[in-house]
Amino acid sequence: MYTNAQSMDHKQEELEAIGQQESYDIVAITEMRWDDSHDWSAAMGGYRLFRRDRQGGKGGGVDLYVRESLGSVELEVSNDTVECMWIKIRGKANKADILVGDC
């Protein structure tokens, strides 16, 4: 699932309900606009949260919720001028890894 949140202030419960109801493996969100006044450090039940807030300025931010059973790790991105993150999901049974980006 992909969505442009345009601020997550009061949308966390709605996001969790949709994610759980539809049983998505990956939920990518842009324009989170989370700041220090919100404690969104906990992922949805059954998901691992990867979060990258915009550095300096208002708005922005990208997040990925990845189903915990999918063995995922965040990859280091050396370019801080582009607001994005990359996640590697380990392939199973001799299958290739999958890269997922959120920009």
- In the chain, where the domains are located: 2-102
Asked whether the predicted pLDDT for residue 35 surpasses 60, the reply is no
Beta bridge partners of 29: 3, 63
Gyration radius (Cα) of the chain, Å: 14
Asked whether the predicted pLDDT for residue 88 surpasses 90, the reply is yes
Q: Extract the tokens encoding 14.
A: 């709605």
Pairing of strands 72-75, 85-89: antiparallel
How far the first Cα of the chain sits from its last, in Å, is: 14
The CATH number that domain 2-102 falls under is 3.60.10.10
d(CA 51, CA 25): 16
pLDDT band at 98 (very low <50, low <70, confident <90, very high): very high
